[in-house]
Chain A
Amino acid sequence: MKRSQPDQPDTSQATGLLSRCTPRHEWNADLASQWLQQRFGRPWKRADLLQALIVIQHHFGSVTPVAQQWLAHHCQTDRAEIRALIHFYHFLEEDDPLPLRIRFASNIIEQHQGLQALLEQLQHSVHQHARVSKTACIGLSDQGPAALVNGFPLTHLNARRIEAIAEKLQQQVPLQEWPAEWFRVEENVRVAGPLLSFHPDPGNFIPNIRARDPHAIINEIKTAGLRGRGGAGFPTGVKWEHCAATPAPQRYVVCNADEGEPGTFKDRVLLQRHADAVFCGMALCGHAIGARHGIVYLRGEYLFLFAPLQQRLQHWRTQQWLGDHFDIEIHLGAGAYVCGEETALLESVEGKRGIPRVKPPFPVQHGLFGMPTVVNNVETFAAAAWIAEQGADAFRQSGTPQSAGTHVHSVSGDCAKPGIYELPFGTPLDQLLTLCGATDCVLVQVGGPSGVMVDSSGFQQPLAHESMSPGGSIMVFDHSRAHLDIARNFTAFFKDESCGFCTPCRAGCQILQRDLQQPSHRIDTQALRQLAQLVNDTSHCGLGQTAGRPVLFWLDREHP
């Protein structure tokens, strides 16, 4: 056994907090305290519970009943409350006796890339050493099939690589000793526009903006016509203005890096290449609205970015670009698409289950811990920083009157060059298809499963808020792909990711998913259409209100 014993020196100590490592499994309260001290650097409380669970899960492989009791005692709560969190977040486990957990990304792109065969191959050879399962899209559709092993991404998987992985598992080689090249995450930037060429110098940027009038900053963002890049397209300046105008003892800036929409990976690349621009945008927002606290909510699938981003923030602190005036901390997610919904995200930051709140009130009035809060997408913050440096007029020079600037697209699927494309808003979809080498394109899913499915009749449409809101994900399908398979994959995704709060989404998605699995000639298309419409019409939040879409697009196209 290479894994450490309780009374022996702990080899995992050699590796850093939340780093790529094999969990040690035997519970050790002292060690847990040390990890949590390292994570928080201060006494921690109930609101930090989710972050604490993520640390325990990562370094001990699961959150066992003993660990739960220990955590419950620390937070002065009961074990049921701890278990409520564990059972909500996919990446938290109560008891996992095997050393490692490997989760294959199961978006339709990876399904088409042959994920099932690879998963079965690995499952057969390593069932005593690792639990092998599926998870939703992990933001690597341009370099899949891909999987997470104890949270870290394995890219470009094929049968030979799986064989090599199985060997490591059988020989119980600690994860920290696996070849680094297996974990290489490519950026695949194919077309870089202004934003992907933007590398602000925080040493200039931060003092400059702090000298500026907050109202002037908000006006500049409004004049630029910047709209949220997460998909909804709400005017960013208006959001900041509302937040600044709400009287409160403190305010928050939250960066939504919970890039869960399947087929989207642009925020991952922005955080890999342009973290400074994102932090600059957050600091800009903080100054504009009068907030001293910034939070990056980083999806659990991007754990590999946690350490580099932390290091970068530490550097910012030593340079005093961050400090008492404004600081940024990173909160990790733990496998929950619904936490991309802004109010569910806030619940999660507060250490709770990610259940979307009732709106109104909106976060700008009543957000994190009840305080006015701006929640913006990663790309939105980077674009805001760009505007602060280059000016609103320069920003408006690309894009359309209603959709100013450029947008970063994540392209995957049946095309020669999957990857990142930054194009002005208003660029016709077929221009992007030509650029990425989609020569045999039949269907394009724009904006992920919650977006729209476009066939050749819509390829001339511009990618802009006024036509089809792009969101960030472009998935390309050629003539060999069955639309029904795509609808099945997306519907199963919504069923797995429904938070369970409201009836139509919780129960409706289960039934949509089940009924869609039948052979196509047995599907009652009229009943299915009605149910999909019901889920869309009557659900509580944006997840449910789009969960019926994949079914409806399939029915419209194949059973009009």
Chain B
Amino acid sequence: MNEPVFWLDDKAIPFRDGQTVMTAVTAAGHYIPHLCHHPDLTPHGSCRLCIVQIDGRIRAACTTPAQANMKVTFDTTLLNQQRRQIVELLFAEGNHLCPSCEVSGNCQLQALAYDLGMTHSEFAPLYPQRETDGSHPDIFVDQDRCIFCELCTRSARELDQKNIFGISGRGSHTYLLAHSDSGKLGDTALTETDRAAHICPVGCLLPRNGNYQIPIGERLYDAQPIHIRGNHRPDDGEFTP
């Protein structure tokens, strides 16, 4: 029996029942830009970076089930431009001051910006006022950098079996919350060894220890773009400087 395939532009992508476009494409060794997708977690579909075109409609590859012979358009000028604009929206929406951020060079948002050819955000920054939370002994929270991907929320629930993070507010007032009566991360059950403490793709959930051991310029995405490196963190066990 031949495995079923679908088409990513002109590439045949084999897939198994239950796979999404994203998981099948990744398994076939190709890269679709993404921030909120993680292979160990339930698909989410919020960052919208993995947009592809199917039957004339734009869909998120991470939440779209693979189907036999489906034609998935991926690499077009317009889609690449829209992916870049979505990254630019994220930059404009938060306070992303790369020069003063510890994860610069390891940041997946920044890496996608580099890879998608962003030199600046065409959208003027919104400069929101967001909270920081220094109550936890191991993890510092700087919401200026939050992109609401909910990797922390989902990994705490699904991998650590804990209810630590959530999203609250709405629209322009969306924010990351810590599940405790005080609302402080220090009053939750989060520990340094939890997966959720080491999954943030940006610098919002920042480990307090071990920073600046690798100098700027020698970090994860300084030499190689994210479409080659993949979405990683230096502390996820897959990085050797």
Contact = CB atoms under 8 A, between A and B. Distances in A.
Contact of B89 (A84, A336, A500, A503): A503
A268 B44 CA distance: 35
B141 interface: no
A84 B167 CA distance: 7
Tier of interface size on chain A? 35 or more
A39 interface: no
Contact of B168 (A83, A358, A501): A83
Given A80-B178, A360-B65, A510 B90 contact: no
Given A508-B89, A538-B58, A498 B82 contact: no
B173 A500 contact: yes
Contacts of B92: 507, 511
A499 B49 CA distance: 18
A81 B179 contact: yes
A478 interface: no
A509 interface: yes
A501 B65 contact: no
A79 interface: yes
A358 B59 CA distance: 11
A87 B183 CA distance: 13
A514 B126 contact: yes
Contacts of A511: 89, 92, 123-124, 126
Contacts of B171: 495-500, 506, 509-510
A504 B172 CA distance: 12
B226 interface: no
A503 B48 contact: yes
Given A360-B65, A531-B85, A80 B181 contact: yes
Contacts of A514: 124, 126
Contact of A500 (B58, B82, B172): B172
A507 B123 CA distance: 10
A501 B89 contact: no
A360 B43 CA distance: 12
A506 B93 contact: yes
Contacts of B179: 78, 80-81
B120 interface: no
B72 to A, nearest CB: 15
A80 to B, nearest CB: 5
A537 B173 contact: no
Contacts of A84: 166-169, 177
Contacts of A83: 168, 177, 183
A539 interface: yes
A231 B168 CA distance: 29
Interface residues of B, number: 43
A314 interface: no
B46 A507 contact: no
B47 A499 contact: no
A482 interface: no
A527 interface: yes
A534 interface: yes
A502 interface: yes
B177 to A, nearest CB: 5
A88 interface: yes
Nearest to A90: B170
B89 A507 contact: yes
A502 B48 contact: yes
B45 interface: yes
A526 to B, nearest CB: 11
Interface string B69-86: 000000000000010011
A353 interface: yes
A503 B170 contact: no
Interface string B14-29: 0000000000000000
Interface in B23-71: 43-49, 51, 58, 60, 63, 65
Contacts of B174: 500, 506
A88 B89 contact: no
Nearest to A537: B58
A135 to B, nearest CB: 14
Interface in A38-89: 69, 72, 78-81, 83-84, 87-88
B147 to A, nearest CB: 8
Contacts of A510: 93, 126, 171-172
A539 B169 contact: no
Interface string A488-527: 0000000111111111101111110011000000000001
B51 A87 contact: no
Q: B47, B166, B168 — which one has the most chain A CB atoms within 10 A of its CB?
A: B168
B183 A358 contact: no
B48 A500 contact: no
B180 interface: yes
A345 to B, nearest CB: 15
B137 to A, nearest CB: 19
Contacts of A496: 171
Contacts of A504: 48, 86, 89
A206 B92 CA distance: 57
A540 B45 CA distance: 7
B170 A500 contact: yes
A428 B2 CA distance: 55
B43 to A, nearest CB: 7
Contacts of A502: 45-48
Given A503-B46, A510-B126, 5 more contacts: A495-B171, A500-B148, A503-B49, A508-B89, A530-B85
- Closest A-B pairs by Cβ, 8 of them: A500-B174, A84-B168, A507-B93, A507-B89, A498-B171, A79-B181, A87-B169, A358-B63
22 contacts: A78-B181, A80-B177, A80-B179, A80-B183, A83-B177, A87-B168, A87-B169, A87-B175, A88-B169, A498-B171, A500-B169, A500-B172, A500-B174, A503-B90, A507-B93, A507-B126, A510-B172, A514-B126, A531-B85, A537-B51, A538-B48, A540-B48
Interface of B: 43-49, 51, 58, 60, 63, 65, 82, 85-86, 89-90, 92-93, 122-124, 126, 147-148, 163, 166-175, 177-183
Interface of A: 69, 72, 78-81, 83-84, 87-88, 336, 353, 358, 360, 495-504, 506-511, 514-515, 527, 530-531, 534, 537-540
